[in-house]
């Protein structure tokens, strides 16, 4: 009963380092999303993928890249990490019908020092 | 533009009190969906409820109830007889229709932190 699985759960990076957050879902969902959560700001959409092979920018895409490797996997890459990217990152997925519930992974706590 | 506002940043109540979390939204869509999620201290996001904009019927699930009023663009959440385990951050969210420019993605409010004291 995995649902949405994201790794790693915790990561500390130095400024300028790169890393990739991995996300996979086993619900055969078409849409996948990456959000970041910061205190007092709720969750903000970084990038999303409405279907395999497509990706689009969300509200806060700067400093990030994404790859929709296949229907199951949607990765988020920080090419040159900055302290402003210290956040909790959530991957999510949703079926293709309007109103389908979006299911979230357990979150990845990233600290950039 | 779509927007969700949760004006209450933090609420503190004593166990067994009733508490209402407010949510006000803005959208130009005629069809949309509203959600509430709970984020306990462990950090995961737990889905609580989804409402279709065409369905203004209030819903009750155990101690939880939701009041959807399209006329005031509000979707408030009430916990009756609160318990310590209800302590969490609660998020209200809005989603458009899949296939539109919204592509079904969620727009979140800032969240309300609820502390229930024993």
> In this prediction, what percent of chain A has a pLDDT beyond 90?
75
Which chain A residues in 7-36 lie under 8 Å from chain B, judged by CB atoms?
31, 33, 35
pLDDT at A32 over 90: yes
Q: How far apart are CA B6 and CA B10, in angstroms?
A: 10
Chain B interface mutation, best of A43, A107, A108, highest count of B Cβ atoms under 10 Å: A43
> CB distance B43–A104 less than 8 Å?
no
The reported pLDDT for the residue numbered A41 is: 80
Burial code (b: 16+ CB inside 10 Å, e: under 16) for A61-79 equals beebebebeebbbbbbebe
Regions of chain B where pLDDT drops below 70: 97-104
The reported pLDDT for the residue numbered A95 is: 78
The reported pLDDT for the residue numbered B98 is: 54
Section A46-50 average pLDDT: 93
Cα angle B49, A32, A2 (rounded to 5 degrees) comes to 70
User: pLDDT tens digits for B90-113?
Assistant: 999 998 765 554 566 788 999 999
User: pLDDT tens digits for A71-101?
Assistant: 999 999 999 999 999 999 999 998 776 567 8
Chain B contact for A102, CB < 8 A? yes
The reported pLDDT for the residue numbered B58 is: 82
Place of tokens 């993605």: B105
> CB distance B45–A41 less than 8 Å?
no
Interchain CB contacts (distance < 8 Å): A and B: 68
Chain B contact for A90, CB < 8 A? yes
CA torsion, ordered B45, A99, B74, A106, to nearest 10 deg = 10
> CB distance A100–B98 less than 8 Å?
yes
């Amino acid at each position: 009963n995995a649902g949405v699985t994201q790794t790693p759960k915790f990561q500390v990076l130095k400024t300028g380092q790169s890393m990739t957050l991995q996300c996979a879902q086993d619900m055969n969902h078409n849409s996948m999303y990456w959000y970041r959560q910061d205190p007092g700001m709720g969750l903000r959409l970084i990038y999303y993928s409405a279907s395999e092979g497509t990706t689009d920018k969300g509200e806060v895409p700067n400093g990030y890249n994404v790859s929709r490797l296949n229907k199951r996997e949607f990765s988020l890459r920080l090419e040159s990490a900055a302290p402003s990217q210290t956040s909790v990152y959530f991957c999510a997925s949703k079926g293709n019908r309007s109103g389908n519930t979006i299911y979230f992974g357990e979150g990845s706590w990233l600290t950039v020092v | 533009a779509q927007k969700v506002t949760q004006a209450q940043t933090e609420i503190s109540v004593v166990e067994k009190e009733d508490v209402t979390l407010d949510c006000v939204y803005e959208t130009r869509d005629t069809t949309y969906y509203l959600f509430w999620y709970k984020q306990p201290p462990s950090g995961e996001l737990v889905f609580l409820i989804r409402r279709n904009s065409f369905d203004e019927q209030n819903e009750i699930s155990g101690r939880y109830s939701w009041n959807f009023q399209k006329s005031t663009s509000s979707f408030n959440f009430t916990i009756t007889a609160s318990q310590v385990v209800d302590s969490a951050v609660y998020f209200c969210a809005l989603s458009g229709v899949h296939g539109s420019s919204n592509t079904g993605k969620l727009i979140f409010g800032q969240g309300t932190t609820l502390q229930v004291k024993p």
